[in-house]
Amino acid sequence: MSTGDRKPFVGGNWKMNTDSEGARALIGGVGGIGGGDAEVVVYPPFPYLREVAADISSQGSRVVLGAQDFRHEPNGAMTGCVSIDMLKDCSVSSVLTGHSERRHVIGETDSLINAKTKAALDAGMQVVLCIGELLEQREAGQTDAVNERQLRAGLEGVDEGSLDRVVIAYEPVWAIGTGKTATSADAQDAHAKIRSVLASMYSKEAAGKMRILYGGSVKPGNAEELFSMPDIDGGLIGGASLNAEDFGAIVSATRASIKRG
């Protein structure tokens, strides 16, 4: 499959970490990367979105601002929630849906994840839809079935015309924040199957253009090998995105995925 059309993507999911000073230091450290051969998006916690947006703008940075979560309904009576319009007001243009911590800790269902994905796309946002199996599902040989179910459910009702704003992140749950990483061969196998499910849902051409990221303990030392796999188009990075130097090294490793084009 030709991969020349797919610009590598690296997302930095800061999760529920850092403070105001730390957020500004982090964006100061990574502000100079992105925008060239790789698309780089950071996902800070809500309270720091505005100051990170201001720093991105004042630095003339090409790093893009994303948000980790949102409520899919319009502004109104929904105590404690943040709407897509509020995110747009903070210069956010990319959101995560289906992250394993929201699926398995908060309890978000496939149908809620689908509602969020569609609402964000309808509002013109980019969506990184996260999928991936639990350890027991992997051990039971269900990895591909789980990925297919989460993919089909998450993208139900999403038309092919919106796919240029959809990125898929394959994140085996047992690899997130654990220091365990899928082997590059296992990850490639899962990514190739995800791409073939996308081809059967849409078209081979559309699937060939979609970015599929790997996430789960990506570090500077393993990024290049993972990104050199033909169906791995970058990564969604948690822990290592909290260190500007490590995150920069991971972004640099995407050159491995550009070369193959």
Residues that bind ligand PEP (CB under 6 A): 13, 15, 171, 176-177, 215-218, 236-240
CB of 94 to ligand PEP, least distance (A): 14
- Let me know: does 130 contact 99? Beta carbons within 8 Å: yes
- Let me know: does 238 contact 215? Beta carbons within 8 Å: yes
Of the candidates 233, 223, 139, 162, the residue with the CA atom closest to the CA atom of residue 194: 233
CB of 17 to ligand PEP, least distance (A): 10
Of 15 and 71, nearer to ligand PEP (C-beta) is 15
Of 15 and 83, nearer to ligand PEP (C-beta) is 15
CB of 190 to ligand PEP, least distance (A): 14
Of 66 and 216, nearer to ligand PEP (C-beta) is 216
Select the residue whose beta carbon is closest to ligand PEP and give its number: 238
Query: Which of 39, 72, 171, 191 is flagged as catalytic?
Result: 171
Look up residue 63 and give its DSSP letter. Answer: P
Give the Cα separation of 229 and 256 in Å (integer). 9
Of 14 and 27, nearer to ligand PEP (C-beta) is 14
CB of 1 to ligand PEP, least distance (A): 25
- The encoded tokens of residue 45 equal 């916690």
Give the Cα separation of 246 and 43 in Å (integer). 16
Of 15 and 193, nearer to ligand PEP (C-beta) is 15
Look up residue 249 and give its DSSP letter. Answer: H
Active-site annotation holds for 99 = yes
Q: Which residues of 7-32 are buried (b: 16+ CB within 10 A; e: fewer)?
A: ebbbbbbbbeebeeeebbebbeebbe
CB of 43 to ligand PEP, least distance (A): 9
- The encoded tokens of residue 163 equal 């796919």
Of the candidates 257, 84, 258, 89, the residue with the CA atom closest to the CA atom of residue 187: 257
Active-site annotation holds for 160 = no
Query: Which of 99, 101, 108, 133 is flagged as catalytic?
Result: 99
What are the catalytic residues? 99, 171
